[in-house]
Amino acid sequence: MSNACVGVIGGTGLYDMEGLSNVRTEALTTPYGEPSGEYLLGTLHGVDMVFLPRHGKGHRILPHEINYRANVWGMKKLGVSRMISVSAVGSMREDIAPGKIVFVEQFFDRTKNRECTFFGDGVVAHAYFADPVCQSLAKSLHEVATGLDIDTQYGGTYICMEGPQFSTRAESRIYRSWGVDVIGMTNLTEAKLAREAEMCFSTMALATDYDCWHESEEDVQVEEVLKVMAENGAKARSIIGAYVQNIPEETGCSCHASMKNTLLTPKEAITPEVRERVELLLGKYL
Ligand SMILES: [Zn+2]
Protein backbone atom coordinates (compact mmCIF):
# COMPACT_ATOMS: atom_id res chain seq x y z
CA MET A 1 0.00 0.00 0.00
CA SER A 2 1.33 3.41 -0.96
CA ASN A 3 2.20 5.91 1.74
CA ALA A 4 1.39 8.77 -0.63
CA CYS A 5 -1.66 10.86 0.18
CA VAL A 6 -3.29 12.36 -2.89
CA GLY A 7 -5.17 15.64 -2.65
CA VAL A 8 -7.62 16.73 -5.31
CA ILE A 9 -8.94 20.27 -5.59
CA GLY A 10 -12.01 20.07 -7.76
CA GLY A 11 -13.12 22.92 -9.96
CA THR A 12 -16.04 23.70 -12.21
CA GLY A 13 -17.55 20.35 -13.21
CA LEU A 14 -15.84 18.34 -10.48
CA TYR A 15 -17.61 18.89 -7.19
CA ASP A 16 -17.37 15.41 -5.71
CA MET A 17 -15.09 12.41 -5.56
CA GLU A 18 -16.96 9.21 -6.21
CA GLY A 19 -15.88 5.72 -5.29
CA LEU A 20 -14.08 6.50 -2.03
CA SER A 21 -14.10 3.97 0.81
CA ASN A 22 -13.91 4.77 4.52
CA VAL A 23 -15.37 8.19 3.77
CA ARG A 24 -15.40 10.93 6.38
CA THR A 25 -15.43 14.70 6.34
CA GLU A 26 -13.20 17.10 8.19
CA ALA A 27 -13.89 20.77 8.91
CA LEU A 28 -10.70 22.70 9.55
CA THR A 29 -9.95 26.16 10.81
CA THR A 30 -6.51 27.30 9.69
CA PRO A 31 -4.13 30.13 10.66
CA TYR A 32 -5.24 31.67 7.35
CA GLY A 33 -8.98 31.44 7.92
CA GLU A 34 -11.67 29.14 6.61
CA PRO A 35 -11.20 26.81 3.63
CA SER A 36 -13.82 26.58 0.87
CA GLY A 37 -15.66 23.91 2.83
CA GLU A 38 -15.27 20.57 4.53
CA TYR A 39 -12.61 18.22 3.22
CA LEU A 40 -13.77 14.83 2.04
CA LEU A 41 -11.40 12.06 3.12
CA GLY A 42 -11.30 8.41 2.17
CA THR A 43 -9.34 5.78 0.30
CA LEU A 44 -9.40 4.93 -3.39
CA HIS A 45 -7.79 1.63 -4.40
CA GLY A 46 -6.13 1.63 -0.98
CA VAL A 47 -4.62 5.12 -1.40
CA ASP A 48 -5.43 7.91 1.04
CA MET A 49 -7.33 10.71 -0.68
CA VAL A 50 -8.41 14.20 0.32
CA PHE A 51 -10.90 16.12 -1.81
CA LEU A 52 -12.00 19.75 -1.67
CA PRO A 53 -14.25 21.62 -4.13
CA ARG A 54 -12.52 25.00 -4.47
CA HIS A 55 -15.71 26.93 -5.16
CA GLY A 56 -17.44 25.44 -2.12
CA LYS A 57 -20.51 23.32 -1.90
CA GLY A 58 -23.07 24.52 -4.47
CA HIS A 59 -20.40 26.60 -6.31
CA ARG A 60 -20.74 29.76 -4.22
CA ILE A 61 -17.20 31.22 -4.19
CA LEU A 62 -15.75 33.32 -7.02
CA PRO A 63 -12.11 32.70 -8.04
CA HIS A 64 -10.83 35.88 -6.35
CA GLU A 65 -12.88 35.14 -3.21
CA ILE A 66 -11.35 31.69 -2.69
CA ASN A 67 -9.20 31.41 0.41
CA TYR A 68 -6.41 29.59 -1.41
CA ARG A 69 -4.07 29.71 1.58
CA ALA A 70 -6.57 28.03 3.88
CA ASN A 71 -7.41 25.43 1.22
CA VAL A 72 -3.78 24.41 0.64
CA TRP A 73 -2.80 24.66 4.31
CA GLY A 74 -5.65 22.25 5.10
CA MET A 75 -4.42 19.82 2.45
CA LYS A 76 -0.97 19.93 4.05
CA LYS A 77 -2.41 19.47 7.52
CA LEU A 78 -4.34 16.41 6.35
CA GLY A 79 -1.13 14.84 5.08
CA VAL A 80 -1.42 15.45 1.33
CA SER A 81 1.91 14.89 -0.44
CA ARG A 82 0.73 14.99 -4.07
CA MET A 83 -1.88 17.50 -5.14
CA ILE A 84 -3.89 17.49 -8.34
CA SER A 85 -5.71 20.71 -9.20
CA VAL A 86 -8.54 20.13 -11.59
CA SER A 87 -9.49 23.27 -13.49
CA ALA A 88 -11.93 24.11 -16.26
CA VAL A 89 -10.14 26.30 -18.81
CA GLY A 90 -10.68 28.09 -22.07
CA SER A 91 -8.58 27.02 -25.02
CA MET A 92 -6.15 29.49 -26.58
CA ARG A 93 -5.11 27.19 -29.43
CA GLU A 94 -7.00 25.68 -32.31
CA ASP A 95 -5.57 22.22 -31.61
CA ILE A 96 -6.77 22.24 -28.00
CA ALA A 97 -10.35 21.34 -28.81
CA PRO A 98 -13.06 21.43 -26.15
CA GLY A 99 -12.76 18.19 -24.16
CA LYS A 100 -8.98 18.02 -24.33
CA ILE A 101 -7.06 17.65 -21.08
CA VAL A 102 -3.81 19.59 -20.75
CA PHE A 103 -1.14 18.92 -18.13
CA VAL A 104 0.56 22.29 -18.21
CA GLU A 105 4.19 22.89 -17.31
CA GLN A 106 4.11 26.68 -17.02
CA PHE A 107 1.96 29.55 -15.81
CA PHE A 108 1.68 33.24 -16.57
CA ASP A 109 0.29 35.49 -13.85
CA ARG A 110 -2.50 37.94 -14.62
CA THR A 111 -4.05 37.90 -11.15
CA LYS A 112 -4.26 41.12 -9.15
CA ASN A 113 -5.65 40.90 -5.66
CA ARG A 114 -4.77 37.59 -4.10
CA GLU A 115 -2.92 36.32 -1.09
CA CYS A 116 -0.48 33.97 -2.73
CA THR A 117 2.09 33.27 0.00
CA PHE A 118 2.01 31.73 3.45
CA PHE A 119 4.88 33.98 4.51
CA GLY A 120 5.33 37.65 5.30
CA ASP A 121 4.40 39.41 8.56
CA GLY A 122 7.74 38.59 10.14
CA VAL A 123 9.06 35.71 8.09
CA VAL A 124 10.62 35.96 4.62
CA ALA A 125 11.09 33.00 2.30
CA HIS A 126 11.36 32.98 -1.49
CA ALA A 127 10.33 29.73 -3.17
CA TYR A 128 11.95 28.70 -6.44
CA PHE A 129 9.26 28.68 -9.08
CA ALA A 130 10.98 28.41 -12.45
CA ASP A 131 9.33 25.02 -12.91
CA PRO A 132 6.00 25.52 -11.17
CA VAL A 133 4.55 22.03 -11.50
CA CYS A 134 5.90 18.65 -10.45
CA GLN A 135 6.89 17.22 -13.81
CA SER A 136 6.98 13.71 -12.40
CA LEU A 137 3.37 13.88 -11.21
CA ALA A 138 2.16 15.69 -14.35
CA LYS A 139 3.89 13.18 -16.65
CA SER A 140 2.44 10.23 -14.72
CA LEU A 141 -1.06 11.67 -15.01
CA HIS A 142 -0.58 12.40 -18.69
CA GLU A 143 0.59 8.82 -19.31
CA VAL A 144 -2.46 7.50 -17.49
CA ALA A 145 -4.75 9.74 -19.57
CA THR A 146 -3.09 8.57 -22.79
CA GLY A 147 -3.58 4.95 -21.69
CA LEU A 148 -7.28 5.65 -21.22
CA ASP A 149 -7.50 6.98 -24.79
CA ILE A 150 -8.35 10.47 -23.59
CA ASP A 151 -7.44 13.41 -25.85
CA THR A 152 -4.60 14.93 -23.83
CA GLN A 153 -1.47 17.08 -24.07
CA TYR A 154 1.59 17.28 -21.87
CA GLY A 155 3.09 20.74 -21.49
CA GLY A 156 1.90 24.22 -22.29
CA THR A 157 1.24 27.46 -20.45
CA TYR A 158 -1.79 28.32 -18.35
CA ILE A 159 -2.47 32.03 -18.16
CA CYS A 160 -4.18 32.74 -14.85
CA MET A 161 -6.45 35.77 -15.06
CA GLU A 162 -8.16 37.51 -12.19
CA GLY A 163 -11.77 37.23 -13.38
CA PRO A 164 -14.52 36.82 -12.55
CA GLN A 165 -15.39 38.23 -16.00
CA PHE A 166 -13.91 36.43 -18.98
CA SER A 167 -11.37 38.19 -21.22
CA THR A 168 -12.14 40.91 -23.68
CA ARG A 169 -11.47 39.99 -27.30
CA ALA A 170 -8.41 42.28 -27.31
CA GLU A 171 -7.00 40.56 -24.22
CA SER A 172 -7.67 37.14 -25.64
CA ARG A 173 -5.84 37.99 -28.89
CA ILE A 174 -2.89 39.48 -27.01
CA TYR A 175 -2.61 36.41 -24.74
CA ARG A 176 -2.60 34.25 -27.83
CA SER A 177 0.25 36.29 -29.30
CA TRP A 178 2.17 35.53 -26.08
CA GLY A 179 1.98 31.84 -26.91
CA VAL A 180 -0.16 30.61 -24.04
CA ASP A 181 -2.18 27.41 -24.34
CA VAL A 182 -5.10 27.67 -21.92
CA ILE A 183 -6.71 30.33 -19.74
CA GLY A 184 -8.19 29.91 -16.27
CA MET A 185 -8.67 31.81 -13.02
CA THR A 186 -7.40 29.64 -10.17
CA ASN A 187 -4.51 27.26 -10.68
CA LEU A 188 -1.47 29.51 -10.51
CA THR A 189 -2.35 30.61 -7.00
CA GLU A 190 -2.68 26.99 -5.92
CA ALA A 191 0.62 26.09 -7.60
CA LYS A 192 2.46 28.84 -5.69
CA LEU A 193 1.06 27.73 -2.36
CA ALA A 194 1.62 24.03 -3.07
CA ARG A 195 5.28 24.83 -3.76
CA GLU A 196 5.56 26.68 -0.43
CA ALA A 197 3.84 23.71 1.23
CA GLU A 198 6.39 21.34 -0.40
CA MET A 199 3.83 19.24 -2.21
CA CYS A 200 4.03 17.68 -5.63
CA PHE A 201 1.58 19.67 -7.71
CA SER A 202 -0.03 19.14 -11.08
CA THR A 203 -2.73 21.02 -12.89
CA MET A 204 -5.24 19.02 -14.87
CA ALA A 205 -6.66 21.66 -17.21
CA LEU A 206 -9.93 20.62 -18.81
CA ALA A 207 -10.73 22.62 -21.94
CA THR A 208 -14.42 23.45 -21.97
CA ASP A 209 -14.53 25.82 -24.94
CA TYR A 210 -12.42 28.20 -26.99
CA ASP A 211 -11.74 31.59 -25.43
CA CYS A 212 -13.26 34.58 -27.26
CA TRP A 213 -10.42 34.92 -29.83
CA HIS A 214 -12.02 32.03 -31.69
CA GLU A 215 -14.54 32.66 -34.44
CA SER A 216 -16.80 29.85 -33.25
CA GLU A 217 -17.05 31.39 -29.81
CA GLU A 218 -20.21 33.39 -30.53
CA ASP A 219 -22.03 30.29 -31.71
CA VAL A 220 -21.22 28.28 -28.60
CA GLN A 221 -24.33 27.06 -26.87
CA VAL A 222 -24.41 26.93 -23.09
CA GLU A 223 -25.79 23.39 -23.24
CA GLU A 224 -22.81 22.30 -25.29
CA VAL A 225 -20.36 23.79 -22.77
CA LEU A 226 -22.20 22.13 -19.88
CA LYS A 227 -22.11 18.81 -21.70
CA VAL A 228 -18.34 19.11 -22.26
CA MET A 229 -17.88 20.06 -18.58
CA ALA A 230 -19.77 16.98 -17.41
CA GLU A 231 -17.76 14.75 -19.73
CA ASN A 232 -14.54 16.40 -18.55
CA GLY A 233 -15.48 15.75 -14.92
CA ALA A 234 -15.93 12.05 -15.72
CA LYS A 235 -12.58 11.96 -17.52
CA ALA A 236 -10.83 13.64 -14.58
CA ARG A 237 -12.29 11.04 -12.20
CA SER A 238 -11.18 8.16 -14.39
CA ILE A 239 -7.64 9.57 -14.71
CA ILE A 240 -7.34 10.06 -10.95
CA GLY A 241 -8.73 6.57 -10.31
CA ALA A 242 -6.33 4.93 -12.76
CA TYR A 243 -3.40 6.96 -11.38
CA VAL A 244 -3.92 5.87 -7.79
CA GLN A 245 -4.61 2.28 -8.85
CA ASN A 246 -0.99 2.02 -10.04
CA ILE A 247 0.47 4.89 -8.07
CA PRO A 248 4.24 5.27 -8.45
CA GLU A 249 5.77 4.71 -5.02
CA GLU A 250 8.48 7.32 -5.61
CA THR A 251 8.18 10.56 -7.56
CA GLY A 252 11.93 11.13 -7.92
CA CYS A 253 11.43 14.90 -7.62
CA SER A 254 12.56 17.48 -5.09
CA CYS A 255 9.13 18.95 -4.31
CA HIS A 256 9.19 17.70 -0.73
CA ALA A 257 12.29 19.74 0.05
CA SER A 258 11.45 22.75 -2.11
CA MET A 259 11.74 25.29 0.72
CA LYS A 260 15.20 24.18 1.80
CA ASN A 261 17.57 27.18 1.86
CA THR A 262 14.80 29.64 0.97
CA LEU A 263 14.28 31.16 4.41
CA LEU A 264 16.03 34.54 4.72
CA THR A 265 14.84 35.57 8.18
CA PRO A 266 17.27 34.39 10.88
CA LYS A 267 15.56 31.81 13.10
CA GLU A 268 16.19 33.92 16.21
CA ALA A 269 14.36 36.88 14.61
CA ILE A 270 11.15 34.86 14.21
CA THR A 271 8.70 35.51 17.02
CA PRO A 272 6.88 32.63 18.74
CA GLU A 273 3.56 33.76 17.19
CA VAL A 274 4.97 33.76 13.66
CA ARG A 275 6.71 30.48 14.30
CA GLU A 276 3.46 28.92 15.35
CA ARG A 277 1.76 30.17 12.17
CA VAL A 278 4.38 28.71 9.83
CA GLU A 279 5.32 25.64 11.88
CA LEU A 280 3.43 23.21 9.64
CA LEU A 281 5.24 24.52 6.55
CA LEU A 282 8.71 25.53 7.66
CA GLY A 283 8.99 23.74 11.01
CA LYS A 284 11.70 21.37 9.85
CA TYR A 285 13.89 24.34 8.85
CA LEU A 286 13.41 26.31 12.07
ZN1 LIG B 1 7.10 16.32 -7.09
pLDDT in tens, 175-186: 999 999 999 999
Range name among 12-21, 34-43, 139-148, 205-214 with the lowest pLDDT average: 12-21
More confident residue, 244 or 13: 244
Domain count, the chain: 1
- Give the integer Cα–Cα distance in Å for 225 and 114: 28
At 216 the pLDDT is 77
Is 211 annotated in the active site? yes
Q: Is 16 in the active site? A: no
Instruction: Calculate how far, in angstroms, residue 250's C-alpha sits from the geometric centre of ligand 1.
Output: 9
d(CA 146, CA 102): 11
Q: Measure the CA–CA gap between 271 and 275, rounded to whole angstroms.
A: 6
- Enclosing domain of residue 235: 5-285
Question: Band of the pLDDT at 218, cuts 50, 70, 90?
Answer: low
Taking residues 35-49, what's their average pLDDT? 96
Q: Residue 241 pLDDT > 70, yes or no?
A: yes
pLDDT at 225: 85
Q: Do 98 and 207 contact (CB within 8 A), yes or no?
A: yes
If you measure from the C-alpha of residue 265 to the centroid of ligand 1, how many angstroms do you get, rounded to a whole number? 26
What's the confidence (pLDDT) of residue 1?
Answer: 57
CA of 82 to the centre of ligand 1 (A): 7
- Ligand 1 centroid to Cα of residue 243, in Å, is 15
> In the prediction, which pLDDT does 14 show?
80
Catalytic residue selected from 16, 109, 131, 209? 209
Question: pTM of the entire structure?
Answer: 0.96
Domain at 218, CATH number: 3.40.50.1580
